[in-house]
Amino acid sequence: MYHGPPGPPPHDSNEPVDDPRTEQRSRMVRRPEITRQRPDLAPSWDEVGASFPVRITRSFWRRLDPADPDDPLALQVMPDPRELETDPGDVPDPVGDAATSPLPWVVHKHPDRVLLLVTKRCHLYCRYCFRRNHAPSEAMDPTPGEWAAALRYAAASGASEIILSGGDPLILPDRALLATLDALEGVPVRRIHTRAPITFPERVTEALVSELAARRPVWVVVHCNHPRELSDEVDEALARLIDGGVPVLNQAVLLRGVNDDVEVLAALSEALVRRRVFPYYLHLTDRAEGNAHLRIGAERGLALYRALRGRVSGIALPRFVVDRPDGSGKVDVETLVGSSVGEPGIQADMGEV
């Protein structure tokens, strides 16, 4: 686990005064404002925050009910004392990143795709995040040398897709983000996995969109779990991307108390399709230490998914997947549950089946 506060990333040590992160910092909700609404969180705040930072954007804050501990948006972002509990199902490296990392900040699970972890920073920290566990000594950003090596590896890999992930790649200033894309110019498809259009929609400026569109095909994969996350500001950010020529997909995570309800899942999928966003994946929550209170078992998840399949059209149906801790990548939960009879190893991969 790591401890804040973070310093500036090495990508831009000559950070200009108009750097968007300066603005980002002023658009975060401060601790007293949160604990005024939820005094029950104050006693454990320091300990929870030391295990995983607390950061909530004002934009996201406006969409949640801060006084309601069961609010599906608040559950995703409020620092919960249950994060300090360990669970027998926790996995230290839930998606097998370490086993498939040939060098720092690079994950290479499949021959045709390389994942670059641009940073560990995010505009908002989701309490269920599967990359929430880092050693205290770990850096938040690559050193310039590490980053140059990561880019060289990705460019020489022969991969047909490079995925920029993290952390959130849109925490970088445009200049650093675009330089990364340009360094990978020879790769046929570049993807950016980001929750910023949902959590910090003002980050998606016309200028950024036109730069991304000029480098097409650049795909953007966003992360929205509940239809109430789709505010007017988010709609505008998504429309800027799509109208600008940048295709957008969504990944959602199935979370207890947030969206473990077929009507909520259907409403999310249909709302995304109406906004021209394809609901690409629904993930069974990866079993990171500290997120057990938000996880549901694979069998219940599959029952929900089957109900969703009977409820929405084909273009509104995501794939229901889980990332296996052995680093072999995503598999359909339906396949695993179907094949898990008598195979405790596979059942163990998914936790409580």
Per CB under 6 A, residues contacting ligand SF4 are 122, 125-126, 129, 131, 166-168, 195, 223
Smallest gap, in angstroms, from Cβ of residue 120 to ligand SF4? 8
Cα-Cα-Cα-Cα dihedral of 293, 299, 300, 306, to 10°? 140
The conformation of residue 285, written as its DSSP 8-state character, comes to P
Smallest gap, in angstroms, from Cβ of residue 294 to ligand SF4? 12
- Which residue, 52 or 320, has its beta carbon nearer to ligand SF4? 52
Q: Which two tokens stand for residue 247?
A: 């295709």
- Which residue, 168 or 323, has its beta carbon nearer to ligand SF4? 168
Of the candidates 225, 282, 198, the one whose C-alpha atom is nearest the C-alpha of residue 73 is 225
Smallest gap, in angstroms, from Cβ of residue 123 to ligand SF4? 7
- Which residue, 126 or 282, has its beta carbon nearer to ligand SF4? 126
CA 81 to chain centre: 22
Smallest gap, in angstroms, from Cβ of residue 157 to ligand SF4? 23
What residues contact residue 85 under an 8 Å CB cut-off, 6+ apart? 290, 292, 293
Smallest gap, in angstroms, from Cβ of residue 238 to ligand SF4? 16
The answer to whether 96 and 323 are in contact (CB under 8 A) is yes
Half-sphere exposure (Cβ direction) of 72: Cα atoms closer than 13 Å: 18
- Which residue, 129 or 162, has its beta carbon nearer to ligand SF4? 129
Smallest gap, in angstroms, from Cβ of residue 52 to ligand SF4? 8
- Which residue, 20 or 167, has its beta carbon nearer to ligand SF4? 167
- Which residue, 309 or 330, has its beta carbon nearer to ligand SF4? 330
Smallest gap, in angstroms, from Cβ of residue 124 to ligand SF4? 6
Integer Cα distance of 265 and 342 in angstroms: 31
Integer Cα distance of 340 and 353 in angstroms: 9
Q: What value does the CA radius of gyration of the chain take, rounded to a whole number of Å?
A: 19
Burial of 7 (0-12, 13-18, 19+ CB in 10 A): exposed
